[in-house]
Each structure stands twice: as structure tokens, then as C-alpha cells.
Amino acid sequence: MDYKFNYGKLTMDYKFNYGTITFKTSYHFTARNEFSFKSIHFLQNFFISSFSERAKATFHVPLLLFYKPYGSPQPQVLKEALSKTLVPFYPMAGRLGCDENGRFQITCNAEGVLWIEAETSSVIDDLAGFTPCSQLQKLVPTLDCSGDSTSYPLFMAQLTSFRCGGVCLGVTTLHTLCDGTTVLHFINSWSEMARGLSQISMPPLIDRTLLRARVPPTPRFHHLEYNPPPSLLGPNNPTPSSVSVFKITQNQLNTLKAKSWEHGNKTNYSIYTILAAYIWRCATKARGLSYDQPTRLLMPTDGRPRLHPPLPSSYLGNVIFMASSIALSGNLQSEPFVNTLGRVHGALARMDNEYLRSAIDYLETLPDIKAARGKPETYQCPSLFINKWSRLPLHDADFGWGRPLYAGPANVVSEGKIFLLPSPTDDGSLSLVACLQTRHMKPFEEHLYQGLMSFDNKKARY
């Protein structure tokens, strides 16, 4: 089967701001020992709940991992390891299909994954900062999604060799099938096989019944997180957006933690709660929202540890639920920081087993699941989306080249989206990747760091 790529034929050179990318080869291959693989799983249907169907059928999540020069990249080793890893992770080699009712499902037909090898005349140092952008997106396979989505690979990988000897592994995975936890589980298992382990350390749990709606569906809560976003008061003219990366040091995190104890607060808030509340306030100020403007904060939340019984981190699927909080801009800008902390903490604390099961049931009752899918306006001003990747094992994927220099999104295209990334050196710092309107970016940076400076004399209490 042939695949169309946005960048054209694989044998052609592709312009890259930092040099030229030359695509050498591409393969479509499936699990090792394909005969036994097919005999067990061939044409098995992989149930997709309404909950997982929230993701658009063509939406793939791109991830980049950069490695410093360390000998030859040995693509044959990676390909062999990938084929072995696909045996326990067999749904990754399937295709998106539909059941008799037109509902999405994964058909485990062993059609395989896509592998691309490329080289570039640039060096990794040219990409100073690894700021996600359209240029970095070119290091990830990008399908032309104008055709039949049932023919697309669910997982694609591109190995790009740099002139300096460094490499970039760009991968993209269908979000309907799995979330970041599963993607990293798959990649880290793949890296174990590439290092010569006889088997992966943590096989995936594949049991789609665990996320089925109850019969009959019985939603018990009003799920505001799936409501349309608040409209922007006043003119809403299209404006350009840009992406910037801000580093927050361990000391700055400590001072934010100290700020959370003010006004007699005795609740030990998590660093994520503190950061989400602080960033929400900074973005609200930077955007210059009127005091009567409603603003909504969205926080993707892993449901595995919150469900009862809890699901293990090895569960293969998309288990991301959306926590949300809504407030007036004027309240966020004038209230004590601890009050904003309470808003965020309350939204996250609400995400218990009963609430999550209710969300699954609620989505099952919708006549059209598309109404619950995130659209660009879901995250745009005056809303904000803060995604915590800081707890994901982004830097554990050692394919024999050591830990990645950078691991994170290739690009952030939706205004209002913010990602929190861990430090590759484990120094306790975080990187904040923000996509905001270009006119709001400088004020956001000023509010972000001015606030941190004003906390410098405070000490964190744990």
C-alpha cells in the first residue's frame, strides 16, 4: 500500500531552515514472527469507547527525541527491536476501522507501522533550545490526512541522522488509540529491546472492557468540561500566535511553593496545582482580559490512578480525562493566590472514580461524540490548556545512545496550549512550552518571571 506524505516523495530532498533533509528509505513492517502474531490477533477488533472517541480520527500526537553523537545510529537494530516490541503491543500495528454501527474500532490486522530513514546536512546545535515549531515538525512523519483514515498507520517513526553524528527519533501515534503514558511505555519498551534485553520489563495490559460505559449509562454529574468554551467579550479578530519556551528552576518552584502557604493555608498543594494556578493568573493578566470576562482552565488528567480499582501505568489506551475550572478574569487578577489554588485544587480533586465513570457514561449518551471533541477554539483565548508532561518518563528511552538531549512535542499549533516538560538532567527544573498570541507572549514572560522574583525571599515548606 502506498502512502502520501505532505513532504512529497521520500527520495527527494526537503528544505529545512537548518539545512536539507534527504529521505532515504521507508518501510511498512509488522511484528516479528508475523505468522504466530496473525494467528493469535489477526482481525481481532479493539473496542474504542465513546470516551476514547473524543480524539479526532486523524489526530496523531508528534513526539521528538534528540540524541547526541554516539557512534552510528544502526537503524537495523531499531527496526528489529521495533518488530519485536509490536508483538505484545499488537494493536499499534493495526488500523482504524468501524463496526456495523459506524463506530470507530481498531482492527488488529497486522498491517504494520511506518518506518522512515532520513539524513540532514544540519547539526543538532543548529536547533538551539529545541523550541517546538513547524520546522521541527518536519522531523516527524506527516501523513496527508485528506484520504481514507482507515488506511493510515497508527504509529509512525522517522530516524533522522545529523551531520554531527547526532540523531533525532520522531514518532507520531493516533491519539484515539493511546495517550502519552502508553506512547512512552511503548517507546521505552522499544528502547529496551534495542539495548538487547530478551523481553520488555513491563508488558502492556490490553483490556478494553475496563473503560466501557455502564449499562445503562448513568451520568451523575454535570460535566462542564465538555461545554462549549466561554466566548471572548468584544472584538475577536484573528491574530498570529507563536511558541516560546521558559525555564523554571528548582529555586523558583520552591518560592512558588512557599507562596502557597500564605493567608493561613494549611493544604499541601502539589507543584502541578501551584504551577497551573500561577500560569492561569499570568496568562489572564498578559491577555488583558476585561474583569467580567469568563476564562476557563483545562487540565488533562490521567485517569489510571483515579479509577477504582486503579489501572496500572501499563494499561494500553487513552485514559485522559479533562479537569476544568472557570472564573472571571477580574477575580483571578485580584484574589489572593491561595484562592486561585483552591479553584484548581477543587477541579483536580473532583476527578475521582465516580466522576470519571460518570464522564464515560455521559459521553456514551451523546448523540454525536464530535460535540465533545476539542477544537482550536476550545483552548484559545480566553481559555487555557495546561498539559503536565513533567511526570512522564520522557528521558528514559535509551536506544544505546544514552538519555535524550530533548524529548517533547515537535510543534504546538493551538493557541492557548501550554506544556510542562521535565529537565533532561534531572536538576529539578521544568520547561514551560507556551503557544500564545504573539502580542501576549512578552507580557506573559514579564508576569511569569516578575512574580517569581517577588517570591525570592520566601522559603518552601514541605
- Residues marked active site are found at 175, 398
Considering only CA atoms, which of 302, 98, 69, 31 is closest in space to residue 183? Answer: 302
Considering only CA atoms, which of 278, 283, 297 is closest in space to residue 378? Answer: 297
For residue 200, how many other CB atoms are within 10 A of its CB?
21
Angle 53-96-203 from CA coordinates, rounded to 5°: 85
Cell of 141: 512523519
CA torsion 238→239→245→247, rounded to 10°?
-100
Question: Are the C-beta atoms of residues 86 and 93 closer than 8 Å to each other?
Answer: yes
Q: 169: which residues sit within 8 A by CB, 6+ positions away? A: 64, 65, 67, 78, 157, 158, 159, 397, 399
Question: Are the C-beta atoms of residues 87 and 128 closer than 8 Å to each other?
Answer: no
Question: Are the C-beta atoms of residues 412 and 431 closer than 8 Å to each other?
Answer: no
Rg of the chain over all Cα atoms, to the nearest angstrom? 22
CA torsion 187→192→195→199, rounded to 10°?
-130
Cα 46–chain centre separation:
22
Cell of 333: 487578577
